[in-house]
């Protein structure tokens, strides 16, 4: 009879325990591997531009979700350096720069705009809104000024309206003495011509409303004065058969009869050295050389003759001179200025009788 051998229960139990142990170890190893493989990745996000730098860790897979979970809300007008859809997979650290849009008000062309803007300056804001400035327009803020929250920027449209007109400038009338013309007579020696001036009126407008005006005048053509000569020569009466001719004084209050008249050349002089370097202030007849003394050629006008010279007055022929020959006379004046003013001129000399 053969004998069959069977394993003992102790051996079987030992084997089972070993298999269970190995299974547990394998399960732990596999579980550990799966844990490390499948556990959520942690990412560090650094955000600048919100005042203080913000740094946080997240297991989110997308940048936008990570920001929302951390309580960072971004507006549609905010500027960010990365899209909110940026995936965070495989990234240990991500840096995000944010520029928050600021609320500002822009007043221009009769409209008020309340906008959110990330512009760096007032000039950038106007460019962003396609608002152009003309050279004369005004702005409430410096174009280079940085934007601030709640800021109001006002554009003032300025225009200038210029109106130009011309006006005539009247000419002046200048009267000049003429000793060769009788008193009461006058004659235009130069015609007057009016000038022209330009009148400019400038009206300044701000946003369509007139705020001030300026007026200026510019003479573009100077007027030419009219010159009128008027007579200062005393009126001489015409001689008549019944009486001697007469001559009236300048005032007309006295009339003198004259015996004859001569056309002469009369020169002004003084008793000083400027007219007669060798003179002593006295005349040929011994009279003092003063106004009213006339030097004559005795062969033409006798010495001591009483004379009347228009423009000079009554005088006496009391002096002679080496250059006084023929129809020439010298009229004595008290000052050099008077003598120079008289100069040399033709006159009619009246010899006054008794």
Rounded to whole angstroms, the Cα distance separating 206 from 203 reads 10
Does this chain's domain 43-99 share its CATH topology with 162-230? no
Residues 6+ apart with CB under 8 A from 318: 283, 284, 285, 287, 293, 294, 303, 304
Residues 6+ apart with CB under 8 A from 178: 187, 229, 230, 231, 232, 233
Rounded to whole angstroms, the Cα distance separating 98 from 50 reads 7
> Which fold would CATH assign to domain 43-99?
Ubiquitin-like (UB roll) (3.10.20)
- CA distances 112 to 101, 132, 136, 243, Å, are 18, 15, 21, 104
Query: What length does the chain have?
Result: 354
Annotated domain spans of the chain: 43-99, 102-156, 162-230, 234-352
> Which fold would CATH assign to domain 162-230?
Resuscitation-promoting factor rpfb fold (2.20.230)
> Which fold would CATH assign to domain 234-352?
Barwin-like endoglucanases (2.40.40)
Of 345, 279, 260, the residue nearest 331 (C-alpha): 345
Residues 6+ apart with CB under 8 A from 52: none
pLDDT tens, the chain, 354 aa long: 455 555 556 666 677 777 777 777 666 766 555 544 445 677 888 989 888 898 988 888 888 888 888 888 888 888 888 888 888 877 678 888 998 888 999 999 888 989 999 899 999 999 988 999 999 999 999 999 998 989 999 999 999 999 999 999 999 999 888 876 666 678 888 999 999 999 999 999 998 899 999 999 999 999 999 999 887 765 454 444 444 455 544 444 445 678 888 999 999 999 887 777 777 888 999 999 999 999 999 999 999 999 999 888 899 999 998 889 999 999 999 989 999 999 999 999 999 875
Rounded to whole angstroms, the Cα distance separating 97 from 155 reads 32
* Inter-residue contact 47 to 54 (CB < 8 Å): yes
Architecture of domain 102-156 in this structure: Roll (3.10)
């Amino acid at each position: 009879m053969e004998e069959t051998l069977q394993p003992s229960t102790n051996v079987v139990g030992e084997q089972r325990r070993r298999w269970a142990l190995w299974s547990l170890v394998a399960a732990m190893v596999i579980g550990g591997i799966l844990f490390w493989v499948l556990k959520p990745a942690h990412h560090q996000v650094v955000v600048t531009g919100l005042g203080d730098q913000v740094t946080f860790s997240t297991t989110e897979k997308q940048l936008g979700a990570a920001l929302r979970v951390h309580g960072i809300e971004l507006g549609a007008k905010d500027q960010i350096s990365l899209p909110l859809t940026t995936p965070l997979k495989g990234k240990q650290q991500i840096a995000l720069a944010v520029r928050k849009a600021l609320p500002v008000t822009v007043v221009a062309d009769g409209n008020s705009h309340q906008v959110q803007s990330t512009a760096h300056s007032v000039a950038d804001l106007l460019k962003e809104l396609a608002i152009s400035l003309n050279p004369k327009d005004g702005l409430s803020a410096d174009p280079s000024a940085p934007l601030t929250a709640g800021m109001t920027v006002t554009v003032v449209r300025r225009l200038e309206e210029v109106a130009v007109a011309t006006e005539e400038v009247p000419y002046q009338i200048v009267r000049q003495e003429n000793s060769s013309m009788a008193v009461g007579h006058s004659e235009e020696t130069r015609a007057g011509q009016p000038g022209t001036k330009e009148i400019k009126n400038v009206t300044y407008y701000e946003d369509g409303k007139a705020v001030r005006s300026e007026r200026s005048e510019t003479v573009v053509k100077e007027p030419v004065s009219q010159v009128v000569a008027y007579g200062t020569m005393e009126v001489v009466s015409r001689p008549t058969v019944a009486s001697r001719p007469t001559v009236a004084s300048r005032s007309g209050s006295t009339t003198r009869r004259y015996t004859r008249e001569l056309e002469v050349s009369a020169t002004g002089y003084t008793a000083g050295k400027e007219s007669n370097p060798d003179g002593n202030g006295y005349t040929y007849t011994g009279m003092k050389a003063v106004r009213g003394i006339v030097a004559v050629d005795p062969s033409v006008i006798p010495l001591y003759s009483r004379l009347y010279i228009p423009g000079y007055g009554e005088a006496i022929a009391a002096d002679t001179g080496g250059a006084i020959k023929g129809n020439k006379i010298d009229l004595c004046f008290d000052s050099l200025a008077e003598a120079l003013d008289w100069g040399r001129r033709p006159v009619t000399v009246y010899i006054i009788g008794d």
